[in-house]
Amino acid sequence: MPENLNILRAFGFFFFVFWTAFNTALVDVVGSEQQIPLSVVKLWASAFGGEIKSIAAKYSGSQLLQKKYKEYEKDVAIEEIDGLQLVKKLAKNMEEMFHKKSEAVRRLVEAAEDAYLKHEFDADLQYEYFNAVLINERDEEGNYLELGKEFILVPNDHFNNLPVNISLSDVQVPTNMYNKDPAIVNGVYWSESLNKVFVDNFDRDPSLIWQYFGSAKGFFRQYPGIKWEPDENGVIAFDCRNRKWYIQAATSPKDVVILVDVSGSMKGLRLTIAKQTVSSILDTLGDDDFFNIIAYNEELHYVEPCLNGTLVQADRANKEHFREHLDKLFAKGIGMLDIALNEAFNMLNEFNHTGQGSICSQAIMLITDGAVDTYDTIFAKYNWPDRKVRIFTYLIGREAAFADNLKWMACANKGFFTQISTLADVQENVMEYLHVLSRPKVIDQEHDVVWTEAYIDSTLPQAQKLADDQGLVLMTTVAMPVFSKQNETRSKGILLGVVGTDVPVKELLKTIPKYKLGIHGYAFAITNNGYILTHPELRPLYEEGKKRRKPNYSSVDLSEVEWEDRDDVLRNAMVNRKTGKFSMEVKKTVDKGKRVLVMTNDYYYTDIKGTPFSLGVALSRGHGKYFFRGNVTVEEGLHDLEHPDVSLADEWSYCNTDLHPEHRQMTQLEAIKRYLTGKEPLLQCKYFVKYAGDKELIQEVLFDAVVSAPIEAYWTSLALNKSENSDKGVEVAFLGTRTGLSRINLFVGPEQLTNQDFLTAEDKENIFNADHFPLWYRRAAEQIPGSFVYSIPFSTETANKSNVVTASTAIQLLDDRKSPVVAAVGIQMKLEFFQRKFWTASRQCASLDGRCAISCDDEAISCYLIDNNGFILVSEDYRQTGYFFGEVEGAVMNKLLTMGSFKRITLYDYQAMCRTNKESSDSAHSLLDPYNAFFAAVKWIMTELVLFLVEFNLCSWWHSDLTAKAQRLKQSLEPCDTEYPAFVSERTIKETTGNIACDDCFKSFVIQQIPSSNLFMVVVDNECFCDSVPPITMAPIEIRRSFLNCFVHNESLKCERLKSQKIRRRPESCHGFHPEENARECGGVSGLSAKPPFVLLSLLLAIFSR
């Protein structure tokens, strides 16, 4: 018993010591946590929240506007938007617009074919035409140059004030062609008849921009006439026959195998010419074509070994990938052409049987310096008698010993033979195959209308000047081929050229009623290959000094923008021209990609008939699916539209101001007022009464003008009251409605505004435009009704320099999710004013004696004000303003994520540009560049002229700078895929406290939501350092899985990506073969070429002018 008693006493003593130690430690921890009393932080947050909401509500007039809309609640009709009906209606509108453009092109085709039919070729024809380069040019004596007579050019606002001649077209001839070649002069002469049709088309449809005729002979007739300027080298590289619209209209889709001889005899300049020939052939291939490249000597060498035995789509990324691999080709051994031909035929046959590819034309391109046989047994086995695979042969070099064999191969297989002696000859000779492939279409007399993908053609003289505020103009082109109708040449299938007109993508957006799509809704269109024609998330340009095109801008797939659709359900349905609906949760970034809105979208889609395009509409669930109609008299509405603070979204189409020149300078607001008062009866304000008697956009504008009018007097009274806003902290009040109507009131003079760009055309994200509602409107719509959303505008610079805070709130008609958000109002205030209110609130305390136990002035704590995306609005260190909270307090942000107060959302950017370092050699790539190839040809010709004098010395010196430049590291921006995080607060968590175990201490913090806002106060213990926890950043991480990156970790993954083909829809038309085709025109004699003296002279001038 005593022993047991002793044991119990010992145990009791031990337990007492342990309990005392435990409680001491617990008191220490709790004491650390209690250094930041939650009740005090709650008091601060409540005081600041009440003060700042009072200011925002007072100066924005939000309660007044909410009251005014409530007064009309009984007089409005709320409707749920029928997404399928809406998308069908929009598709019909686009179809009508596209049809007008194609009819204009069809009239040009008819006029051109009739003019050629009546024309008789005259080899001695002398004709002074307007040469686009020479017009208005004079010699030293003041006389007009030949082909350069006076051509009146007047700035025209429809063409961005570019000097043009809207009565006449003029003609551009490529630099490497002779201006007065008989074929050129005859073609220019008979095509003059197009001038009348150009003008007539423009009169019928004043929204038309550039119309043109690209001749198969190489000249380019453009309306309206414009002056072309050579580049710094005196060269105009533009050749219309190399443009996508020309190639697409002239030929049918094709499968092509390119065979390149790399035997020992191809060393030196021959291999360089061969590589340039391959590159030029690749230029002629488009998204509807498929190809592969095989180099051969005694063995076969696939340029991309991963694609052994198959073909790949000729999109830009694949073509660039193959171009890079061309650098690795070198010449050695013996050429075994029979092996290469067998492989090419087998590959085309097997690929065709898979059901992939074009399922139309097939061709083998043979690039060699000779063939010892005609290989008729191979052709008999694979290609005769139908000759469905055409053979095009390119003899490299001057020797003609093997020309007969190569020509026989081409002629026996419905192809074409040509000889390429210099780099300067490449492009003209490559073009010949296109005219051969066009023969079946010409014989069928099928004028297929083709539409290109969205592109920017910066080679045209107007491209830079036709830029809108966002940069170069994105457009699509509608084109049709022009044929010879002469009976005697019918079997030859003579292509005269291609006519076309451009349609800016922004013209498509004018047909879309943004007000019907809601705050987050949008419309988009894709091509038959799934590439984006228009989408608000398409970013074709990037900035590096100036705005530039991204290399892959024209082949951005829908799946790269709507990336949440992992199974491509939406994309594939649209590619297959189906009509239907699809829903998914999406993560839409705003505010320069730094913030994210998570919502559920309903997608509705259908095809646009008469085009290869499909149209989609995205409507966000909740308020985005509802629309309401109000009704006021025209007289009431007009009265309230006269207020000077009213403006309308100029990128929205209320009235069509393009139809008459005198209307083009009008704003949309001016046009509405003049239309409604009867002063401009010719104006077409097409949405006034539309669609089965519904009163549309203008009627709703009048309603919003009437309801929002009282706020102008309210703002004015505030501005006139000297006791209000004495420190001028609030600078601007603004409102916007779902119809694009805006009102703005300045509480300070314009020159005193801290942010001069706010609500101006320079601040695209904060005004209504064709793509989206203002940022402050979109964010307010997702905030709890009655609360304000606060933010600091992000600067485009590395460090945020913003000195203002924007606050906005949404106005709803009803108190539920089915209520449309009818408007948003807000203010912009000085950041210093906003922060001062915060620090004042954080000094309050509840003690009776006025002595506060804790204050943000204490060095022991740090106080922050952050928003719902984690960005700092207030910090004791002013430099941290605008930073992400995780960069400053990584340990606290990490704990908030762990506790669920914030959540991380992973986002993807498949249109990113990454800065890379890679070894660069100027040798091969410089020769594949057209300009360097041109000058390389000059040097080669000059070398040949004096080769007999100093052969080896001259050659080694002259070619050294183009073929033996040392490799060096080059930094550049290249397309890449990136992954990056965004952060958003959990709405249900209003407050929380936490402790973080650091190396030798516990760091405590308190986070408290600011009432009626998207803000949080965070108070952090400043005495415990958590240096072991790294900061949390929002920096993007490159996803290294694409062959477009500088290196690839996983070769098998790269191969799979190359081989993978997304679902695409073939063009409906195919003209690959015609039994009546005359195949005897198969080359051997140069077609149109420049006169040697002129070539040599221009080359010498060009090289010595550098």
Q: Residue 743 has what pLDDT?
A: 95
| Whether the predicted pLDDT of 883 surpasses 60 | yes
* pLDDT tens digits for range 268-281: 999 999 999 999 99
Of 850 and 382, the one with more pLDDT: 382
Report the distance separating Cα 734 and Cα 746, nearest Å: 9
Backbone angles phi and psi of 391, in degrees to 5: -110, 120
Do residues 671 and 683 touch, judged by C-beta distance below 8 A?
yes
| Residues near 375 by beta carbon (within 8 Å), at least 6 away in sequence | 337, 338, 341, 409
Residues 330-344 have pLDDT tens digits of 999 999 999 999 999
Distance CA(109)–CA(115), nearest Å, equals: 10
Q: Which helix (H) or strand (E) is 885 found in, with range?
A: helix 885-888
> Is the model more confident about 818 or about 478?
478
Section 373-393 average pLDDT: 94
pLDDT tens-digit map of 917-944: 665 444 444 444 444 444 544 544 554 4
Higher pLDDT, 280 or 816: 280
- 486, HSE (Cβ side, Cα atoms, 13 Å): 15
- For the stretch 1040-1078, pLDDT in tens is 644 444 344 455 666 777 777 788 888 888 988 888 887
- Give the DSSP per-residue string, 804-864: EEEEEEEEESSSSTTS-EEEEEEEEEEHHHHHHHHHHHTT----TTS--S--TT-TTEEEE
The answer on pLDDT for 230 being more than 90 is no
Summarize pLDDT for 81-103 with one digit per residue, the tens.
899 999 999 999 999 999 999 99
182/165 Cα distance (integer angstroms):
26
Tell me the pLDDT band of 1086, cut-offs 50, 70 and 90: very low
Q: Give residue 256's pLDDT.
A: 97
Run of H or E residues at 60 = helix 38-60
Q: 3-state secondary structure string, 193-226?
A: CHHHHHHHHHHHCCCCCCEEEEECCCCEEEECEC
Report pLDDT for 1046.
39
Q: For residue 968, what pLDDT is reported? A: 52
Say whether the peptide bond before residue 305 is cis (omega within 30 degrees of 0): no
3-state helix, strand, coil in the chain (%, to 5): 35, 25, 40
Q: Is 709 helix (H, G, I), strand (E, B) or coil?
A: coil
Cβ-proximal residues to 816 (8 Å cutoff; 6+ apart), any chain: none
Q: How far apart are CA 804 and CA 802, in angstroms?
A: 6
Question: DSSP E strands: which ranges in 958-1059?
Answer: 968-985, 991-997, 1002-1009, 1015-1021, 1037-1038
The predicted pLDDT at position 1100 comes to 38
Can you give the pLDDT at residue 1097?
Answer: 35
Region 424-429: what's the mean pLDDT?
A: 89
Residue 425 CB neighbours (<10 A):
19
Residues paired with residue 1037 on neighbouring β-strands, in sequence order: 979
Q: How many residues does the chain have?
A: 1106
- Average pLDDT of the chain, as a whole number: 83
pLDDT of residue 443: 86
Residue 34 pLDDT > 60, yes or no? no
Residue linked to tokens 């992939």: 356
| Res 818: pLDDT | 67
Q: Which residues pair with 249 in a beta bridge?
A: none
Quote the CA–CA distance of 751 and 733 in Å, as a whole number: 16
Residue 867 · residue 1015 · CB < 8 Å: yes
**Do 116 and 484 contact (CB within 8 A), yes or no?**
yes
pTM to 2 decimal places: 0.85
Q: pLDDT tens for residues 978-1037?
A: 999 999 999 888 889 999 988 888 899 999 999 999 999 999 998 888 888 899 999 999
Alpha helices in 609-721 (DSSP H): 634-641, 668-676, 697-708, 710-720
| Residue-wise DSSP of 735-760 | EEETTSEEEEEESS-GGG-S-TTTTS
Decide which of 849 and 343 is more confident.
343
- At 318, the amino acid letter reads N
Kindly tell me the sign of the dihedral angle through the C-alpha atoms of 104, 105, 106, 107.
positive
Percent of the chain with pLDDT over 90: 50
pLDDT for position 864: 96
CA atoms of 389 and 319, how far apart (whole Å): 22
Alpha carbon 807 to chain centroid, angstroms: 31
End-to-end alpha carbon distance in the chain: 113
Q: What is the mean pLDDT of residues 258-267?
A: 96
**Among 26-35, 345-354, 847-856, the least confident range:** 26-35
What pLDDT shows up at residue 395? 96
Whether pLDDT at 1103 is above 70: no
Minimal CA–CA distance to 817: which of 770, 859, 849, 785? 785
**3-state secondary structure (DSSP) of residue 166:** coil
Q: Is the pLDDT of residue 960 over 50?
A: no
b/e burial code for range 1041-1058 (CB count within 10 A of at least 16 → b): bbbbbeebeeeeebbebb
Pick from 117, 876, 164: which is nearest to 484 by CA? Answer: 117
Q: What tokens appear for 60 in the block?
A: 């924005």
pLDDT of the residue at 469? 39
For the cut 60, the answer to whether the pLDDT of residue 740 exceeds it is yes
pLDDT tens for 524-577 read 999 999 999 999 998 887 765 456 677 667 678 999 999 999 899 999 999 999
353/350 Cα distance (integer angstroms) = 5
Question: Closest Cα partner for 161 from 873, 554, 665, 897?
Answer: 665
Whether the predicted pLDDT of 463 surpasses 70: no
Q: Residue 701: name the closest of 660, 736, 659 by CA.
A: 736
Mean pLDDT of 419-435: 91
Predicted pLDDT of residue 402: 82
762 versus 366: the higher-pLDDT residue is 366
Strands 730-737 and 821-830: antiparallel
- Regarding beta strands 290-296 and 541-544, do their DSSP bridges make them parallel or antiparallel, or are they unpaired? unpaired
Distance CA 595, CA 763 (A): 17
Element at 280 (helix H, strand E): helix 269-283
Q: Which residue has the higher pLDDT, 966 or 658?
A: 658
Asked if residues 1040 and 1049 have their Cβ atoms less than 8 Å apart, the reply is yes
Residue pair 1032/886 in contact (Cβ under 8 Å)? The answer is yes
CA distances from 93 to 102, 477, 517, 686, 749 (A): 14, 18, 15, 12, 45
- Whether 66 has a pLDDT exceeding 50, the answer reads yes
Count Cβ atoms below 10 Å from residue 66 Cβ, excluding itself.
21
List, for residues 480-530, the tens digit of each pLDDT value.
999 998 876 677 788 999 999 999 888 888 888 888 888 999 999 999 999
Residue ranges of alpha helices (H) inside 580-720 are 634-641, 668-676, 697-708, 710-720
The residues with which 504 forms a beta bridge, in sequence order, are 475
CA distance 589 to 779: 11
HSE, CB side, 13 Å, CA atoms: give it for residue 974.
18
Enter the tokens of residue 675: 């239309």
What pLDDT score does 127 carry? 92
pLDDT at 551: 67
pLDDT in tens, 104-139: 999 999 999 999 999 999 999 999 999 999 999 988
Pairing of the two strands 211-215 and 254-261: unpaired
Task: Read off the pLDDT of each residue in 598-623 and give the average, rounded to a whole number.
Answer: 94
Spatial contact of 976 and 9, defined as CB atoms under 8 Å apart = no
Q: Is the pLDDT of residue 75 over 90?
A: no
Q: Give residue 826's pLDDT.
A: 96
